[in-house]
């Protein structure tokens, strides 16, 4: 899937990538039900989540739970901003 490729292509070492993948999978599991069953909507949301995760990650990132929560906060902000623009 495109979202996991985005993470995999980031400039992080293998240990950090393992943490990022785990954080991504855990974060997605917690929000997946909010995006229905349209594959294009799901893929766009997963890409946004991957980008949100990378925006909070660093090479020193080792705590998947902290990354998960931070990425979800960033992602929520993206959707809130979109809602304000569409109002």
Provide the domain limits for residue 9.
Answer: 2-85
pLDDT-based confidence at residue 71 (cuts at 50, 70, 90): very high
pLDDT in tens, 3-58: 999 999 999 999 999 999 999 999 999 999 999 999 999 999 999 999 999 999 99
pTM metric for this prediction: 0.88
Domain count along the chain: 1
Which whole-number Å values give the CA distances from 45 to 28, 35, 57, 62, in the listed order? 9, 7, 18, 24
**46-73: average pLDDT:** 97
Which whole-number Å values give the CA distances from 48 to 15, 52, 60, 76, 78, in the listed order? 23, 6, 22, 10, 8
- For residue 42, with 0-12 CB atoms within 10 Å meaning exposed, 13-18 middle and 19 or more buried, which class applies? middle
């Amino acid at each position: 899937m495109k979202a996991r490729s985005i993470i995999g292509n980031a400039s992080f070492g293998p240990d950090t990538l393992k943490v990022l993948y785990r954080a991504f999978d855990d974060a997605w599991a917690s929000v997946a039900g909010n995006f229905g069953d349209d594959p294009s909507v799901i893929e766009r949301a997963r890409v946004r989540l991957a980008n949100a995760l990378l925006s909070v990650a660093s090479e020193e990132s080792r705590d998947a739970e902290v990354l998960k929560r931070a990425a979800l906060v960033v992602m929520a902000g993206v959707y809130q901003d979109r809602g304000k623009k569409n109002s």
